[in-house]
Amino acid sequence: MDDQKNSNFEEGHSAYRTGGFHPVYIDDIFNDHYIVCNKLGYGAYSTVWLARDTNCEHGHEHQYVALKVLSGECYYTDVDIFEREILRHLRDNGKPTMPGYPFICHLLDDFEITGPYGKHVCLVLPLMGETLRSFGALFQRSLVPYVTMRRFTIEIALALHYAHNQGVIHTDIQPNNIFVQIRDRTLVERYLQEQKPPDQDREVPYRPIPSCPLQNYYFTRHESDSINGFSVVLGDWGVASWKNKHLSENIQPVALRAPEVLIKAPWDETTDWWNLGAVVLEVYCAIRMFSGMVSKPAEKSSHYDVRMHLAEMVDFFGPFPRTLLAKGDPELVKDVFSEDGTVSAFPQLHRPELASEEIMEGLNQEAREEFASFLRFVMKLDPSQRPDAEQILRHPWLDALRDKTPMNPAVAAQTATPPVKPRSYTTDTGKSLWRRLTPTFFLAATIVQLAVFQWPWRWTLSGAPVLTLFLLHGDNSGNRVLPFCHIWTLFTTVNLAYAVASTSWLLYWVFAALCYPAIYITCLFQYRTVGNTTRWILRGFLKQLHFVDDKIALFDIPALEIDTEVDGLLVLRGISLSLSTLSFTVHGVEVGIKLSNGLELAIQTERVTVSMFRSIEVDDCFANIKGGKQPLTLGQSRSMSMDEGASSIGAVTDRNKPQVSETKAKMTAGNPPQDSSNAAAYKAIKKQPLHSDIAVQRYHSTLELLDASNTISQARADLRQRLTSIASTDHHDESALRAAICSQLHSKPSVPNPPQRSVKVTALRELSSPRMRRFMHRLPMLLRLLLNPLSYFHPVTIRSTTVTASGDWIKSILVQKVFKRYDSSEMELERLQESVSSWVTDAHFTLGLGSMTGHAHVPLISSSSILCRMEFDGVVAHRALKESSIYEILKLRGVDASFVVPTFLLPHHEHIIPDKINSEADAAECGAPVVANDETESDTTTVKMAVRGHLPATLDQDLLNFIALIVKHSKLLELDQSPSPMDDDVKGFGEFTDAINTKVKASVKKAVMGGDQWLAKLAGKALKKLEVIDGDIGYSGGIPVDLNKYRLTGWQEVEGEKLLP
């Protein structure tokens, strides 16, 4: 009898078998520092234990943790779960300042153990109080307070927003998986004193012990009265899935399943939003929205029927859309649904309405309607119509985001603890009725006045009463434009403005011209039908654009072929413009530039976001310098092309067309875009279907295709799969991972995803109007007036910049610049060159710059200069051996650079360029002879530059040895020069000194060659100081700029003098 009772106790004795649970005893030590103290609970796939971490001091936040021991069936089988990998991903790919990050139960540690029933994965998680399943018991009638429930909903929505952005779907949102956070962790000591675990006998077969959760020990009785302090996190990711890889297609608790899961249609992250709505009602009202249970009159028991479950959904949210049914299981849809989308077996159910008192107990009518509108907003039957996290948080029931600014990490601190202001729902019925009837009264009064008087006709024609009526109706429906302004303030402002405008015919028509667009904008904001109609019409006029909600997307953009000062190709794979946030995002930027023969620069980034009058944000930027067997600078490349009689800069001739085509073919791996005219490239953009569902599906599928074909994301995915094979890489070192990604991109084409067509820069120049060029030439101050606010309101931030060059290219530079000609008989120099070359050959060298913030200031006054400043948070250099390892060779705390650019270098500012110095005229006036001097003849200006590196700095010993070899080589070359030039006629003493010089050089050479240890020790001592010095080391100088091409524009002679300086 005892054995039978024990087999049904807690997880049951039968759970402890091969592939099942691991037997855990009190005081067991896991991973050498986790001591088991008590049992917190269990689940279908794990047991959870309270453990003390001996590595943490007393009072530490994680002195006590939750130790989750998974069953042996979770891993090391044919179908492993994703819990450990997903928790690592959520922890390592975000920051605590990101919205939603604090509301996820993050992984602290993980390890593996081997027990009597197999191998088990153990997860260490922060200690939590209790779940929302039992949290309601603290309050009267087991109902969580209304304000608290709204705050909990905001926190879970933020957690899902973060998880979805990381490519993770929870799939199991239920009260048992939402945990209340502990506010005072010192209370755990009282729990350990009062809740003693039972004794366990290790000599007999293992028996489960009762669970003892922290239900009444994570807050004081005084704290329980202050419910606003409670916060929740989303946990238990045991059955979570990736967006692109599902653990199972049969997900979610049965009663909480989304409609697409029930009819076996494809599902995605929107299933979590359906779960959220169902859980909110269940936790707050202690009632399940759906049960699916059917009982026959002759039977006392009931059973689950999926048809009843679907019928209950139809009862609350209406018939199933045909677009969703077309994606489900054909046989199930045919057997269950009628033609109108209802369930044929249960055509009508007699249940209370969603906003009724029976379901939402304790709320007045206004609160019930607002709560029900939120549930209908989140729980759309069609998954494609469900809102995202930002739209959910803007819903009036939550009111967590009151402005139009999208969620971003800058406001995460405020969003992480969203203020939920309690509302007063004690408004009497008469006031609520007056609010609903106000639009009707206003419309009736307007019609009566139009019938009786003449003056209202002019008032109505102006649009003022129409705008007022829509504002009143929007306020009644709870979806009004300008919700932060009181309705009567708007009412008074509109009609007072008309009263002033009616005194003048000019002001009257100005008012009318402004009022009608305001009516359209108000309707566009308040009514979905107007928005859908507007998008449908705009798609008809602009068929090459994708209109999705408030976004305009443009894809298949022709490449920009650079054919001016250098040859290159610029590809923008997609652009989406958000009208509500006044921002646009470039999806995928690929740039290839030919610096010289055999030398290319490739730049790629996944995303660039431009927020109008706020900022420009660039994702991780990767640059690669490719080729360079015979490295040339840009200036040398140009001079060589001019000497060979090539086409002049900016010209497009038949002679250089083969060279440009060859460059495009090389950059695109033999798939160059077709050179097209402006009109042909515009027509080549694919047309967009007009149907809304097709537009949304096409938009998202296109974005997924862009992300899947992006070489950066491909390299990142490939790197994750083979991280274990990279021996010397810290898997949590972001700079090393970026270096590995950039090293992989080095072998890829410079422009891996070229479009079908391209347009040349010279062809686009012809589109600019000659009148506009003439206008800008005569009024250059307008250019500065435009650039001044643009530069001020658009600071540039780059998440990171990683530049990679091959060791072969560095070796070729050393051959050209350092390894100069020497006598082949000098074996020491030859061996030294081989030692230097061996360190750079067959390796990639990567320079990683941390997050960059750039500011620029263009002055309005032409006498001032343009100021530019860039700051980099950290500099790290890596050496990557091909297919082997990556390790750090240099690290700086940071770098900043500033540039001062003369204003006359701007276009159309040649009139303020300083006069050229005429040395011949000055010499003639002085009567001095004219001496040819290249420096005085050059017509240049200087861009001032200052670069500072922030110490401390760390240098790898291999890099120090490499520098020592370079220094040694340069000294030997100096010593290897020919003897001091003496007159050949001098004999005797001259020959004697030559002999002395030869012997001295030989001795010095021997000392230098044998001084490896001494040089390394000296360099190590000097550079070791850099690791402890806290200061700056910098360089300042000038960048010469040739002014000839700025002077010889010819505009001033053609257009005349300037109207504004």
d(CA 346, CA 357): 24
Residue type, 749: P
d(CA 1061, CA 1056): 13
Which residue, among 121, 124, 122, 120, has the nearest Cα to 106 in the 3D structure?
124
d(CA 833, CA 810): 13
Three-state SS for 388?
Answer: coil
Q: What is the 3-state secondary structure (H, E, C) of 704-747?
A: HHHHHHCHHHHHHHHHHHCHHHCCCCCCCCHHHHHHHHHHHHCC
Residue type, 821: R
**DSSP alpha helix (H) spans, 49-110:** 83-92
Using only C-alpha atoms, the chain has a radius of gyration, in whole angstroms, of 37
Tokens standing for residue 405: 């600014």
- How far are the Cα atoms of 560, 563, 666 from residue 570, in angstroms, in the given order? 5, 11, 14
Other beta carbons within 10 Å of 485 = 12
d(CA 655, CA 673): 20
Tokens standing for residue 320: 């199933």
Residue 490 sits at φ, ψ, to 5 deg, of -65, -40
**Contact status, residue 341 vs residue 319, Cβ threshold 8 Å:** yes
Neighbour-count burial of 992, counting CB atoms closer than 10 A to its CB (0-12 exposed, 13-18 middle, 19+ buried) = exposed
Give residues with Cβ within 8 angstroms of 1040, minimum separation 6: 940, 941, 942
**Contact status, residue 867 vs residue 856, Cβ threshold 8 Å:** yes
Q: How many helices (H) and strands (E) does the chain have?
A: 38, 32
Three-state SS for 324?
Answer: helix
Residue 592: its H or E element: strand 583-596
Three-state SS for 587?
Answer: strand
Backbone conformation region of residue 518, classed left if phi is above 0, alpha if psi is from -120 to 50, else beta: alpha
Q: Beta strand 559-563 with 757-760: parallel, antiparallel or unpaired?
A: parallel
Other beta carbons within 10 Å of 694 = 11
d(CA 960, CA 879): 13
d(CA 783, CA 776): 7
Spatial strand order in the sheet of 34-42: 29-30, 34-42, 46-53, 64-70, 118-126, 109-115
Give residues with Cβ within 8 angstroms of 133, minimum separation 6: 175, 176
Counting every residue, how long is the chain? Answer: 1061
**Contact status, residue 164 vs residue 244, Cβ threshold 8 Å:** no
Tokens standing for residue 292: 């699916």
Q: Beta strand 940-955 with 567-572: parallel, antiparallel or unpaired?
A: unpaired
Three-state SS for 249?
Answer: coil
Residue 68 marked in a binding site: yes
Cα torsion 924, 930, 932, 935 to 10°: value is -50
Binding residues: 68
Binding residues for ATP: 68
